A = this chain, B = another copy of it.
Amino acid sequence: MQIAIAQLNIHIGNFESNKRKILNAIEEAQKQGADLICFSELATTGYPPLDLLDYPYFIEQANQLLNDVKMASGRIGVLIGAPRVNPELPGKNLYNSAFFFYEQKEIGFIDKALLPTYDVFDEYRYFEPAKSFRVFDFKGEKLAVTICEDIWDIIQDDPIYTFHPMDILMEYEPTLAINLSASPFHQDQRLERKKVLKANATRYDLPFFYINHVGAQTDLIFDGGSLVVGPSGEVFEEMPFFRESIKTFSLKELRERDGIGQVKPAERIEAIHNALVFGVKDFFSKLGFSKAILGLSGGLDSALVAAIACKSLGSENVHGLIMPSAFSSESSVRDAVELASRLKMTYDVIAIDQLYRGFVSELSRAFGETPFDVTEENLQARIRGMLLMAYSNKKGYVLLNTTNKSEMAVGYGTLYGDLCGSLSVIGDVYKTDVYLLAGFINRDQSFIPQSSILKPPSAELRPDQKDTDSLPDYALLDSILKLFIEKRKSVDEIAEKGFDKELVKKVVRLVNSSDFKRYQTAPVLRVSKKAFGYGRRMPLVAKA
């Protein structure tokens, strides 16, 4: 049997375009000689449709598309993920299902049994778990079909679910396993995914086809990388990352060649880089925008985001705004200009000093003479935010936010100032990884000026300010942040690992007391297992 994998970029709500893509894929697979084509999880709606699933008219449109897919199945079998209306309440209104079509008929469906409801996942909000199980008989094979999470619990040290759906399906003696997924990128995901597939293939002694979604949905980046794995656990094929692909595999050949070669392991920083480039590109493409703007401070964070944006959108579509204040060093403007010229992007320079003095003067009438404090620091950041938003409004540019995860974590940023933007590009990248990414960007050609990389990080909001005036150095800070945010350790537990307890207390207090800022900031491209945004929900009035 010849089995095609269609790894597509489905645009939530864009049913017309999605229909075209899916029907084209069916045609292409037939040309490739496939007997069966497999699509990803919720391929009719895109993933995650969130509360659009609560809108009956959205489900109707998905059902229409599903019917079109059925009519397009003729001499080729089609396996596709789609929501299924629960015909019998009580229960949630929907199942997260896979439909099997052949010769324009519905052969049957299966429902997802394990519904991830943690981090960025909320599936139990919408779906009822499977109540029954079955395999599909097709051209002499017995297909065990599962959906995403259904096969993941197998690698957990602390299993979440009380059973493995594949254990149940094995009673039907399947000859082949297919998993339809929508599994978002994080920097260790490629390795984990292979570990999962390997563990399943060997445990059940079956060839596994794993079909992943590709495409970015604002914060979540689906990276593709669909897999075909032999019963020995060896990877027969790893499909491309961050782009659509339709490819047909011979089951016979897979069985014969199983055990011959491994795909090389992933490189973490390169994967993050590629995910960010794709995340920006797809955000613009799905919203129908082409041009971006960002503030260039001469520092490393904005330089990195500029480089990523130029790679994503083309240099001609990225505009930089350089906005020096009285506290900016001369080298800052020089480095920003140098960066823009190396990246071949356009830029303007608008000094903010006069606007800043305008505000100070208006406010001094109300405040009287007061010492320079965070008010004046924030004024500068907010004037920059206003100028950037004015460009955004006047020219239709989309503002990219340049705050990194370390800053986001400790609240080191001005709400409505440098925290402005429609998309946070590196808000899930710790500062220590910002350096590594800059090194990756510069690997062949020096796009980011060395001086931006080497100079001590500073917000330049008061004379001779350095980030290290109020924060520990980033290597130390990031270690503490990871233990608190990713590992959920207490102050005491972190201190026990050899960190200064007062410092740990201070860092944890900063994180807890800045949740209110993160509540109001742009969606963050997720590249770790615990990003800020919907995946981390904290009560705002809790006592930290």
Residues of A bordering B, CB below 8 Å = 11-14, 17, 46, 48-52, 54-57, 60, 89-93, 117-118, 122, 124-125, 153, 158-162, 216-218, 282-283, 286-287, 348, 350, 354-355, 358-359, 362-363, 365-367, 370, 373-375, 378-379, 382-383, 385-387, 389-391, 393-394, 415-416, 420, 422, 488-493, 516, 519-523, 534, 536-544
Contact = CB atoms under 8 A, between A and B. Distances in A.
The residue in A91, A117, A522, A542 that gathers the most chain B C-beta atoms within 10 A of its C-beta is A542
B386 A218 contact: no
A30 B296 CA distance: 66
B354 A362 contact: yes
A489 B363 CA distance: 48
A379 B374 contact: no
Contact of A12 (B286, B287, B415, B541): B541
B386 A359 contact: yes
A539 B217 contact: yes
Nearest to A357: B358
Rank and list the top 9 A-B pairs by shortest CB-CB distance, nearest first: A57-B490, A90-B159, A14-B543, A375-B393, A13-B542, A12-B542, A286-B541, A13-B543, A416-B416
How many of these chains are in the complex? 2
Contacts of A521: 520
B49 A539 contact: yes
Contact of A362 (B51, B367, B387, B489): B387
A387 B363 contact: yes
A422 B516 contact: yes
A365 B321 CA distance: 13
Contacts of A90: 153, 158-162
Given A55-B490, A217-B539, A375-B393, 8 more contacts: A55-B488, A90-B162, A122-B122, A216-B541, A354-B362, A373-B393, A389-B415, A520-B520
Contact of A522 (B12, B55, B122, B520): B520
Nearest to A533: B519
A218 B60 CA distance: 36
A122 B367 contact: no
Contacts of A538: 50-52
A541 B423 CA distance: 11
21 contacts: A13-B539, A13-B544, A14-B543, A17-B543, A54-B488, A57-B493, A91-B161, A93-B158, A122-B125, A124-B125, A217-B539, A218-B539, A348-B366, A355-B355, A355-B362, A359-B386, A378-B389, A378-B390, A382-B416, A519-B522, A520-B522
A365 to B, nearest CB: 8
A488 B367 CA distance: 49
A162 B88 CA distance: 10
Contacts of A117: 117, 122, 124-125
B370 A394 contact: yes
Given A90-B153, A117-B125, A539-B218, A382 B389 contact: yes
Contacts of A362: 350, 354-355, 387
Nearest to A283: B541
